[in-house]
Each structure stands twice: as C-alpha cells, then as structure tokens.
Amino acid sequence: MLRPLPLLTTLVLVGPVLFGLIGSILPASGLLMQSAETPFATALSWPGLPRALAISILSGVLSTLGALAVATLILAGWHGTRAFAVLERALSPLLAVPHAAAALGLAFLVSPSGWIFRIPANLLGWDRAPDLLILGDPWGLSLTAGLIAKETPFLLLMMLAAMGQADAGPRMAIARSLGQGRVAAWLKAVFPTIYAQVRLPVLVVLVFGMTNVDVAIILGPSTPTTLAVQVTRWMTDPDLAARAVAAAGGLILFAATLAVLALWWLGERAIGSVGRAWVWSGIGLPDRAARGVGLTLAGGSAAMVLAGLAALAVWSVAARWAFPDMLPEALTWRSWMRFGPDMAQTALTTLGLAVTATAVSLLLVIGCLEAEVRHGLSLGQRALWLLYLPLLVPQVTFLPGLQLLPLTLGIGPSIWLVLAGHIVFVLPYVFLSLQGPFRAWDGRLARVAAGLGTSQNRVLWRLRLPMLVSPVLTAVAVGMAVSIGQYLTTLLLGGGRVTTLVTEAVALSSGGDRRAIGVWGLGQAVAALLPFALALGVPAIVFRNRRGLRHV
C-alpha cells in the first residue's frame, strides 16, 4: 500500500513546478503572447536591473548568513540554560507571525516617526519627525535586518528539531574535556551534524530571502525595488505585454538564484575544510564574547519583533494617535468592531485550508518515510532535490504559469485548487521538518520489537510515531504556518475569490491603515500561533515522565 506513495509525492511536488516553469518560459520567449516581442531584451534593458538584482542577492545572502549565525550562536552558547528556555519561548511564536505583519510592526518601530524616535522627540520637544532614510535604504539593509529577525526563529526551531538526534550531550562533554569553551565545543562537535540536517531549510531561507515579495515591499528600497517586487509589478502592469516581461524577469531571478545556490555550495565546502583545520588546531573562541553577542542579537531581534507586534496591538485599539505621542489619545474597540467579524470568518477558511493541507501532507510524508524503511524505496539524493523544487524555485517564477495550467484543463479558480497549491508548498516543509528525526530514529528499537513478534504497523503506531511526537507536532505547526502565510499561491490559484488572512492583510497593507493591519495581523498571528503552542505543550505533557524524549 505504501509503495506508490514516494512516486505520488514526487509528482505532486514536481508536476506543478514544471508546468509553472513551462508556463513562464513560453511567454518569456515570446511564444504564447503575440503582443510581447522581445520580453528578455525588455527585462534586461530595464535600467534598474543591476541594482535590483544586487539588492536581491545581497539581502538574501546576508539575511541567511545572519539568521544562521544568530541561531547557531544562541544554540551553541546557551542551549540547556534558563536564558535559552526563556528565549526559545519568546522566539518560537515569532515563527508563526506572518511576514507582512512582522514587517509592518518593525516598520512602525524603527521609522523616524516610530516608537523609538518618539522617545527623544518627547524629551527634546520635536514636533516634526527627523527626515532620515531608515526604511527602504538603497542597499536593503533594513530589509536584511527584518529578514534576519524573522528567519532566525525558523532556523532555530529547525535546529532544535534536529538536536534530539545529534547526541549533543556526550559530544559536548568530550570537547569540553579537551579544553574547549562552550561555544567552540558546540561549533566543533555538534554543529556539523546539525548543519547536515538543516541544510535544506537554510537553502530555503536563502531562496526566500532573495525572492520574497511581501517583506521587500514594506522594508525594502523602492528606487529601485528588489527584482522579485519588480517582477510582481510587471505581472500587474496595465500593459498586457508586460506579463511576458514579468515571466522573463522571473526567469532571470531564477538564474540568479541558481548561481547563488551554487556559490553557497562552494562556500559550504570551503568552510568545511577551514572548519576541519580549526577543529584539529585546538584553537578556541572568546567564549564569553561569543555568548554575549549571540544573546544580544537573538534577544534584540526577538524584542524588536515583539515590540512591533505590541505596536500593532496598540494600533488596533487606538483612537487618534499622532506624532510624537507615545500612546494614543484614547482607546477604542471601533477597529475590532469594524474588522473583527469579517476577520473571524476569514480565519475559519484559513484554518480549514491549513488543517487539510497539513493533514494531507503529513500522510504523504509519513507514508514516504515508512515506505523507505519497509521497502527501501528511498528517493535518493537527486530525487530529494526535486522534492524541494517548490521551495527552491522562486514563487514569482512559476506561479503565474501554474495559474494557466488548470485553466487549460477547463478548471477555474477554486478553493480546491488553492488547497492543492498549498499542499505543494506545505508538503516540503513538513518533509523538511520530519525527515531528519524520522530517519535518525534508532532502528535497533524496531528490530528488538520485531524480535518480540511485533508487526511493522504496530512498530510504526506504537513505537516510532509516539517517540517522534515532538518532531511530528513541530512539522504540523510548521506546515500550518506555511499554509497560513501563503500569499501568491492563494491569490493566483484562487483567482482572488479565496480570501485568507494573509491576502486580506497584504491587500490592506497597500492602503496603510495601521488599525486594520493591526486587527488582521494579530488575527493571523494568533491563527498560526495555536499549532506552535500545541507543538511545545503536548510533548511536555505526554513526556512529563520521559526525560530523554523531551529534547528541550
């Protein structure tokens, strides 16, 4: 029964991407749309291209390096301490916060008229905000900072999920006994194993950083924008020929992504050999400084995002609130009365989609992994890359083409298509979250059980899955957060008819009504937060008397 599952899963993932790519390549080469003559030449001659591409690459690479460094430092320096437990509790909810909401909160916080600048404004009596270019700086540094703050919790959670299998305790003990400091010991003895497990999530972060649209619109530069934002603009240009240019732009971005991925791979090699030399050299690290930097950066970014969310919460109940007041003149429930009922209804659709997409994905993923165990039907390393295609091919490259595919089959936009689209993106994340812990589960337990006469099904249900309940729930929470955050997928495959919390929030963000954004942003954050609360809470309760399974 399990045998067809790996193939089916691969097809579900790869089919849409391939069709989407074809749907982009044809118009980009001037085949599908007659009105566009030379889409590639037009895209290449766009005067902002070098700069836009540079910002895309810069913000993608820097934000990935930054998020990886912060997550690593905090895990290396503080794992197992009380400070870490506090920080983990503060960071995990941030993962669930929708990108757009987090970015809008941050924007209010750091802009020259925002909360931070209002402190000196009140002390020094400014009645006008200083004219400083903080948001949307030409090199995308605020964009990079915002992405780091948002991606650190994701990588941290992924690394934590891998920790259970990393054998960190004994390795640390040996490294420490050889005179290594805490951070150096972790980096030398534990990090290589962890990185091997979270490598694909890191690459996904890299691709997302280079190609995201919603964060870049809010925090990124506008003269010019990142290439992904410009592609979206072309896609929505009144001049219909621009759609073909958008397809070409999407493919250029795709090529750049491939090049960066290749460079990253080379970088991994280089750092691998340098690191090996470092391990053998026995040279340590300034432990105290490294721990301090890690805690400051992680704590700082958590504090910023949380303060941004607090700002959104205050805006959602604010009456008149002008510069330089720290708080609104009065509080009112008017915004919640006005937008709340609509939001509750949309939240139901959103959660319904998220639960269904995650359930289907989880079934496929566990089926695949179990087929691997029972029948040796491994997807193999190359097929595995195909599996991550939907995450590694930029959404702006293949979604427009994907919108055309169902139409050619006579299928109009519908909630079922949106669900199918969500599965395409949720499945890889569930797979990413679960495969490491699932494969790393100690197979000797299964052999012992089989030796005692236990069937394979019983091993799965009574032994493997219960022991893996923590990573399974993490995978569910990640899957739901991904579904809840799907913007372009929902918009394009639903033809705009399927509204979820994120499509509403992004539609509102162009209008800049902070009160409405506050209500919708908080609603989305809460919707995505619940599964994470469960992922943390359930294992703690189930394993209250199983210390070794708690991994935390």
Would you say 26 or 538 has its CB closer to another protein? 26
The yes or no reply on residue 464 touching another protein (CB under 8 A) is no
In the complex, the smallest distance separating the C-beta of residue 487 from another protein, rounded to whole angstroms, is 10
Q: Per-residue x/- marks for another protein, 360-399, CB under 8 A? A: ----------------------------------------
The yes or no reply on residue 420 touching another protein (CB under 8 A) is yes
Would you say 398 or 441 has its CB closer to another protein? 398
The yes or no reply on residue 43 touching another protein (CB under 8 A) is no
The yes or no reply on residue 6 touching another protein (CB under 8 A) is no
Supply the angle between the helices 191-211 and 415-440 in degrees, to the nearest 10. 160
The yes or no reply on residue 123 touching another protein (CB under 8 A) is no
The yes or no reply on residue 413 touching another protein (CB under 8 A) is yes
The rounded distance, in Å, linking the Cα atoms of 446 and 551 is: 21
Binding test (CB under 8 A) with another protein, winner from 78, 339, 429, 431: 339
Would you say 421 or 436 has its CB closer to another protein? 421
Q: What's the full length of the chain, in residues? A: 552
In the complex, the smallest distance separating the C-beta of residue 259 from another protein, rounded to whole angstroms, is 22
Q: C-alpha distances in angstroms, 15 versus 93, 132, 254, 386, 407? A: 33, 48, 18, 10, 15
Q: Minimal CA–CA distance to 213: which of 230, 228, 223, 198?
A: 228
**Segment interacting with another protein (CB under 8 A) among 4-12, 173-181, 364-372, 529-537:** 4-12
Tokens 């909160």, located at residue: 105
The yes or no reply on residue 146 touching another protein (CB under 8 A) is no
The yes or no reply on residue 508 touching another protein (CB under 8 A) is yes
The yes or no reply on residue 29 touching another protein (CB under 8 A) is no
Would you say 114 or 539 has its CB closer to another protein? 114
Binding test (CB under 8 A) with another protein, winner from 123, 125, 320, 548: 320
**φ/ψ of residue 322, rounded to 5:** -115, 165
Please, are residues 253 and 56 in contact by the beta-carbon 8 Å criterion?
Answer: yes
Compute the radius of gyration of the chain from its Cα atoms: 24
In the complex, the smallest distance separating the C-beta of residue 143 from another protein, rounded to whole angstroms, is 12
Would you say 193 or 356 has its CB closer to another protein? 356
> Residue 331 forms beta bridges with which residues?
318
426: left (phi over 0), alpha (psi -120 to 50) or beta: alpha
Peptide bond into 324 cis (omega under 30): yes
The yes or no reply on residue 238 touching another protein (CB under 8 A) is yes
The yes or no reply on residue 119 touching another protein (CB under 8 A) is no
The yes or no reply on residue 409 touching another protein (CB under 8 A) is yes
Number of shown-chain residues binding another protein (CB under 8 A): 81
Tokens 């941030």, located at residue: 94
The rounded distance, in Å, linking the Cα atoms of 13 and 429 is: 12
- Site residues (CB under 8 A) for another protein, limited to 290-319: 318-319
Helix ranges, 441-495 (H): 443-451, 456-458, 465-467, 469-485, 488-493
Return the SS3 of 318: strand
In the complex, the smallest distance separating the C-beta of residue 319 from another protein, rounded to whole angstroms, is 5
**φ/ψ of residue 331, rounded to 5:** -105, 145
Return the SS3 of 165: coil
In the complex, the smallest distance separating the C-beta of residue 520 from another protein, rounded to whole angstroms, is 10
Show the tokens assigned to 369. Answer: 């992994």
**Segment interacting with another protein (CB under 8 A) among 110-118, 195-203, 456-464, 535-543:** 110-118
The yes or no reply on residue 131 touching another protein (CB under 8 A) is yes
Cβ-count burial of 349 within 10 angstroms (0-12 exposed, 13-18 middle, 19+ buried)?
Answer: middle
Binding test (CB under 8 A) with another protein, winner from 58, 100, 217, 468: 217
Query: Which residues 6+ apart lie within 8 Å of 26 measured at CB?
Result: 32, 401
- Site residues (CB under 8 A) for another protein, limited to 243-272: 243
The yes or no reply on residue 24 touching another protein (CB under 8 A) is no
